[in-house]
A and B are shown apart, each in its own frame.
Chain A
Amino acid sequence: MIEWLADNWLKIAIPLLAFLATYVVGLWLRRVVDNLSRRWRAKTRWQGSQIVARTVRRPFLLWFLLLGICIAILVSVLPPEAKNMTGKATGSLFVLSFGWVAIVLSEQLLKLYLARVKVSQPTTALAINVVRITVIVIGVLIVLDIWGMPTSPLLLLIAVAVLAAALAFRDAVPNLFAGFQLGATQQIKVGDYIKVETGEEGYVTEINWSNTHIRALDESIIIIPNSRLLRGTVINYGRPLKKAKESFHFGSRTHLTELTGLKAKNLRELVDVLKRAPDAIIYYHTHHFLEQHHYLTPEPSNDFAIWVSDALGDEVLGERLASVDTFGFPNLGALRERLVAIIEEYLSSGSNFREAMPGREFHFMKSVSVTLPTAYVVHDLREFVEALRKISLGSLYFHVFESRLRLGRGLNDFSIWLQDSLDESELGEEISRLDPYTYTLEGLRSALIQLIEKRIK
């Protein structure tokens, strides 16, 4: 044995030295790479840099160990068959260890990014498995190639499978990538209020691998494919504003006109009916013009003023009745008293005993209001202003006019909600100071939106 060693020590020493030299180089290189990596991590803000450094460091020495073995065998005096076999074995081990690193790395990066876009657990597991299978298949193909085994049938099979998968997921793939992009760029985040160019809007409640979910103003959930968010224009209003203690449910109102059969042909008859008329009659004749001609007349007169001017030809009293500021009265009873007082005062001066021509009598009517809920429910100022843009004029009318006088709430519903539920006393007061009778309904809508937008800014 000693003799054999004495004769062949060089044959052993050279491969051993080559192996040790490679290992030492590996140790030195790992130090260099560690330093470079530390500097790179310090410079970059990419969260994945830690994962890459940690994952690659672990097998680094193993790769040099394998390289050392490979070099040692190549410089050894082993027969070519043995060298070939060893080369293939170390090559295969290298491929397998590299595949393992690729799997670990991709798993950890996927977990990082999918968590950001709030992807569900099963979806994350599915994505990881897809990556694992892909890496394993590629690794196996390379190993088979190293050992000289035919890979064409397997490649064909894989190509067919990939093609089938691509066809099956052709719609999902763009959404998947868009989801990654949304997560990476953070352009849209859960909690943002967004408005898509196609009209959908609301708070983002979830961004998953294929869709983004938004809660619309009617509390329905709209599911938008991620790719559409990237392709189209999206306005992002940002994070939610202060939430109200109680949400605001928009209602609406419509009405039917009921004929009372009561009529007047002169001022005395008019005032007599006015004194005993139910509130519904007073409300109708001081408000219906507003609804019927809201598009043309910013400040409509009440029906009494119009009739006195047109049918009785009394412009003086007509003007006095027209100038009654409906907004200044807290309830319909007070408004009635004022109208009655004006006419009685005028009558007491003996000014007007004219009668309307037959067919021009004043017909007393009343409004039968039907109130109904709408789908719009809002929780903060952003949702409130966006809902204001969408609600019908009937809804706007209901909350501003009907609720204040007819339902006897004293204030409009918006101001009450802003003050009581959102602690927005100043804004609530500003809105309550707006005289809605001096606007068209569309004009009133714009004025309200402007006030709220100003507050949000």
Chain B
Amino acid sequence: MLAAKLSGKVIQNINSTFSGGGVAEILSRMVPLLQQLGVDARWNVIKGSDEFFQVTKKFHNALHGRPERISAKDFALYLKTTQKNIAELELYGDIVFVHDPQPAALVTKKKELGRKWVWRCHIDLSHPNPEVWNFLQPFVAQYDAAVFSAPAFSRELPIRQFLISPSIDPLSDKNKELDQQTIDSVLAKYGIPKDKPIITQVSRFDYLKDPVGVIQAFELVRKSIDCRLAFAGGTASDDPESDKVLAEVRQRAGDNPDIHILLIPPGSDMEINALQRASTVIVQKSHREGFGLTVTEALWKGKPVVASAVGGIPLQVKNRFTGLLSYGIEGTAYAIRQLLTNPDYARWLGENGREHVRYNFLITRHLKDYLLLFLALEHQEDIIHL
């Protein structure tokens, strides 16, 4: 019924990459589902040079609150690439749904085209670098609405702001049920024996995910409990920094046979799924996090989770209720120890976590929220009768 109300409208999604990272993953699921519901949803990406993506990576880090040196030349390159994309990209949507900062300035075309424009921010904007935010804010203010993943990410803006959490697809390769044979074969492929409890973090090789901090926390746990660490990560085409981080992580891990640093190629969703399912505890020790879909995936698999209280993670991990929140390396190690030594408690947290995801973070809820968002653009009132 909600979809029928959008009949005749074209929803044009625009982001910076078709693969790698949470945004592309969500869109690759969301767009076909919207189409199946009869909504004319389409997806385009902007083009940019490596330099452009290095600049947007700096923007990304800076918006997450990391110190970055951004020069006037960087801003100029961003604007130049935006103008090039405006010239080359056909903006045909009745609702132009722009994801993240890379294509955010496309909205300058709105004055000419009209229509409804929505900016979907997947980034933790709670402590943005003022220089970058002040640069982007005038663009964001031109949109009809902005969407954030957590309340703390919202900014003072003259436009309506909505809270929509991202989601996972329970039927995707990354989240579907797997048999023990498949799980064992993936462990064997990556040379991970099943002899000890496995602590896992799945995330890109990115400073914001604090991979070195994860190793330090593991080493603290390892002093009293025999276990293994699996750090499984990949890279994204719009993240030029990941190779450097990977090298640092490998160096920090040294030749410890209980630490497994796994570079997972893109598209290995089932392997990620198997690693998560094989884990005893799943960790997400990020410094900053947009929403933390890897946490959602872990909770969905009924695994006890220890995660930093950043970004959208507190929305998912209700401390001592659906998982454990931590604030530092020692706290993370303490929480992991608690779970390893209390398997019944760990199981209870895992079960609660799965229920929490079932009701709040599956793609069906996400899909419904997007439909409501598109409808809300036409209504200003608080109660909409359809």
Q: Which residues of A contact B (CB under 8 A)?
A: 254-261, 278-280, 292-296, 359, 361, 363, 365-373, 406-407
**Beyond A256-B373, A261-B154, A261-B161, 8 additional pairs, beta carbon < 8 A:** A255-B372, A256-B369, A258-B162, A259-B161, A295-B355, A368-B372, A370-B384, A372-B386
Q: Is the CB of B372 within 8 A of A259?
A: no
Residue interface bits B336-367, CB-to-A below 8 A is 1, else 0: 00000000000000001001100110000000
Q: Is the CB of B151 within 8 A of A363?
A: yes
Q: Is the CB of A256 within 8 A of B376?
A: yes
Instruction: Please name all residues of chain A whose beta carbon is closer than 8 Å to the beta carbon of B154 when the two chains form the complex.
Output: 259, 261, 363
Q: Is the CB of A365 within 8 A of B160?
A: no
Q: Is the CB of B386 within 8 A of A280?
A: no
Q: Is the CB of A257 within 8 A of B163?
A: yes
Instruction: Please name all residues of chain A whose beta carbon is closer than 8 Å to the beta carbon of B156 when the two chains form the complex.
Output: 261
Of chain A, the residue at the smallest CB distance from B365 is A254
Of chain B, the residue at the smallest CB distance from A366 is B382
B223 at the interface (CB under 8 A from A): no
CB distance from A260 to the nearest CB of B (A): 8
**Of the residues A293, A295, A367, contact of B382 by C-beta under 8 Å:** A367
**Of the residues A254, A256, A292, A365, contact of B359 by C-beta under 8 Å:** A292
Q: Is the CB of B161 within 8 A of A258?
A: yes
Which of A255, A280, A370, A373 has the most chain B CB atoms inside 10 A of its CB? A370
Inter-chain CA distance A259–B386, complex, in Å, is: 22
Which 5 residue pairs are nearest across A and B when measured between Cβ atoms?
A363-B151, A259-B161, A257-B163, A259-B154, A280-B382
Which of A258, A279, A363, A406 has the most chain B CB atoms inside 10 A of its CB? A258
B70 at the interface (CB under 8 A from A): no
Chain B, 147-177, CB within 8 A of any chain A CB: 148, 151-152, 154-157, 160-164
Inter-chain CA distance A279–B381, complex, in Å, is: 12
CB distance from A51 to the nearest CB of B (A): 55
CB distance from B148 to the nearest CB of A (A): 6
Of chain A, the residue at the smallest CB distance from B360 is A292
Inter-chain CA distance A370–B2, complex, in Å, is: 10
Q: Is the CB of B151 within 8 A of A259?
A: yes
Q: Is the CB of A370 within 8 A of B375?
A: yes
8 interchain pairs, CB-CB under 8 A: A256-B373, A257-B163, A257-B164, A259-B163, A295-B359, A368-B382, A369-B382, A371-B385
Residue interface bits B119-141, CB-to-A below 8 A is 1, else 0: 00000001000000000000000
Inter-chain CA distance A263–B360, complex, in Å, is: 24
B368 at the interface (CB under 8 A from A): yes
Interface of chain B: mostly helix, strand, loop or mixed = mixed
**Of the residues A258, A359, A369, A373, contact of B383 by C-beta under 8 Å:** A369
Q: Is the CB of B162 within 8 A of A257?
A: yes
Instruction: Please name all residues of chain B whose beta carbon is closer than 8 Å to the beta carbon of A407 when the two chains form the complex.
Output: 383
Inter-chain CA distance A370–B368, complex, in Å, is: 11
Inter-chain CA distance A269–B154, complex, in Å, is: 18
Of chain A, the residue at the smallest CB distance from B368 is A254
Interface of chain A: mostly helix, strand, loop or mixed = strand
Inter-chain CA distance A293–B161, complex, in Å, is: 24
Inter-chain CA distance A359–B125, complex, in Å, is: 11
Of chain B, the residue at the smallest CB distance from A295 is B355
Inter-chain CA distance A185–B353, complex, in Å, is: 54
Inter-chain CA distance A367–B152, complex, in Å, is: 17
Inter-chain CA distance A280–B376, complex, in Å, is: 15
Of chain A, the residue at the smallest CB distance from B382 is A280
Instruction: Please name all residues of chain B whose beta carbon is closer than 8 Å to the beta carbon of A368 when the two chains form the complex.
Output: 372, 376, 382-384
B87 at the interface (CB under 8 A from A): no
**Of the residues B151, B352, B375, B376, contact of A365 by C-beta under 8 Å:** B151
Inter-chain CA distance A361–B290, complex, in Å, is: 18
Inter-chain CA distance A373–B1, complex, in Å, is: 9
Inter-chain CA distance A147–B377, complex, in Å, is: 91
Instruction: Please name all residues of chain A whose beta carbon is closer than 8 Å to the beta carbon of B163 when the two chains form the complex.
Output: 257-259, 365
Q: Is the CB of A363 within 8 A of B152?
A: yes
CB distance from A373 to the nearest CB of B (A): 8
Q: Is the CB of B162 within 8 A of A256?
A: yes
Inter-chain CA distance A369–B379, complex, in Å, is: 11
Instruction: Please name all residues of chain B whose beta carbon is closer than 8 Å to the beta carbon of A365 when the two chains form the complex.
Output: 151, 163
Instruction: Please name all residues of chain B whose beta carbon is closer than 8 Å to the beta carbon of A258 when the two chains form the complex.
Output: 160-163
Inter-chain CA distance A359–B373, complex, in Å, is: 26
**Of the residues B152, B161, B356, B376, contact of A361 by C-beta under 8 Å:** B152
Instruction: Please name all residues of chain A whose beta carbon is closer than 8 Å to the beta carbon of B360 when the two chains form the complex.
Output: 292
Inter-chain CA distance A295–B355, complex, in Å, is: 8
Inter-chain CA distance A295–B351, complex, in Å, is: 12
CB distance from A122 to the nearest CB of B (A): 39
Instruction: Please name all residues of chain A whose beta carbon is closer than 8 Å to the beta carbon of B375 when the two chains form the complex.
Output: 370
Of chain B, the residue at the smallest CB distance from A364 is B151
Inter-chain CA distance A293–B318, complex, in Å, is: 11
Instruction: Please name all residues of chain B whose beta carbon is closer than 8 Å to the beta carbon of A256 when the two chains form the complex.
Output: 162, 164, 369, 372-373, 376
CB distance from A93 to the nearest CB of B (A): 72
Inter-chain CA distance A278–B356, complex, in Å, is: 29
Of chain A, the residue at the smallest CB distance from B151 is A363
Instruction: Please name all residues of chain A whose beta carbon is closer than 8 Å to the beta carbon of B356 when the two chains form the complex.
Output: 293
Q: Is the CB of A372 within 8 A of B1?
A: yes
Instruction: Please name all residues of chain B whose beta carbon is closer than 8 Å to the beta carbon of A257 when the two chains form the complex.
Output: 162-164
Of chain B, the residue at the smallest CB distance from A253 is B383
CB distance from A36 to the nearest CB of B (A): 69
Instruction: Please name all residues of chain B whose beta carbon is closer than 8 Å to the beta carbon of A370 when the two chains form the complex.
Output: 2, 372, 375-376, 384, 386
Q: Is the CB of A406 within 8 A of B383?
A: yes
Inter-chain CA distance A6–B256, complex, in Å, is: 142
Q: Is the CB of A371 within 8 A of B382?
A: no
Inter-chain CA distance A293–B315, complex, in Å, is: 12
Instruction: Please name all residues of chain B whose beta carbon is closer than 8 Å to the beta carbon of A293 when the two chains form the complex.
Output: 356
Instruction: Please name all residues of chain B whose beta carbon is closer than 8 Å to the beta carbon of A280 when the two chains form the complex.
Output: 382
Instruction: Please name all residues of chain A whose beta carbon is closer than 8 Å to the beta carbon of B157 when the two chains form the complex.
Output: 261
Of chain B, the residue at the smallest CB distance from A297 is B321
Instruction: Please name all residues of chain B whose beta carbon is closer than 8 Å to the beta carbon of A372 when the two chains form the complex.
Output: 1-2, 385-386
Instruction: Please name all residues of chain A whose beta carbon is closer than 8 Å to the beta carbon of B126 when the two chains form the complex.
Output: 359
Of chain B, the residue at the smallest CB distance from A256 is B372
Of chain B, the residue at the smallest CB distance from A362 is B151
CB distance from B158 to the nearest CB of A (A): 10
CB distance from B288 to the nearest CB of A (A): 12
Of chain A, the residue at the smallest CB distance from B373 is A256
Inter-chain CA distance A330–B383, complex, in Å, is: 19
Q: Is the CB of B373 within 8 A of A259?
A: no
Instruction: Please name all residues of chain B whose beta carbon is closer than 8 Å to the beta carbon of A371 when the two chains form the complex.
Output: 383-386
CB distance from B9 to the nearest CB of A (A): 17
Inter-chain CA distance A255–B373, complex, in Å, is: 10
Instruction: Please name all residues of chain A whose beta carbon is closer than 8 Å to the beta carbon of B386 when the two chains form the complex.
Output: 370-373
Q: Is the CB of A259 within 8 A of B383?
A: no
Inter-chain CA distance A363–B156, complex, in Å, is: 12
Inter-chain CA distance A239–B108, complex, in Å, is: 67
Inter-chain CA distance A40–B157, complex, in Å, is: 93
Inter-chain CA distance A296–B373, complex, in Å, is: 28
Q: Is the CB of A261 within 8 A of B162?
A: no
Chain B, 34-78, CB within 8 A of any chain A CB: none
Which of A260, A280, A296, A371 has the most chain B CB atoms inside 10 A of its CB? A296
Which of B148, B155, B161 has the most chain A CB atoms inside 10 A of its CB? B161
Instruction: Please name all residues of chain B whose beta carbon is closer than 8 Å to the beta carbon of A279 when the two chains form the complex.
Output: 382
Inter-chain CA distance A182–B156, complex, in Å, is: 71
Inter-chain CA distance A361–B157, complex, in Å, is: 18
CB distance from B299 to the nearest CB of A (A): 14
Which of A279, A372, A406 has the most chain B CB atoms inside 10 A of its CB? A372
CB distance from A293 to the nearest CB of B (A): 8
Which of B359, B360, B383 has the most chain A CB atoms inside 10 A of its CB? B383
Inter-chain CA distance A211–B373, complex, in Å, is: 45
Q: Is the CB of B382 within 8 A of A254?
A: no
Q: Is the CB of A359 within 8 A of B162?
A: no
Q: Is the CB of B152 within 8 A of A359?
A: yes
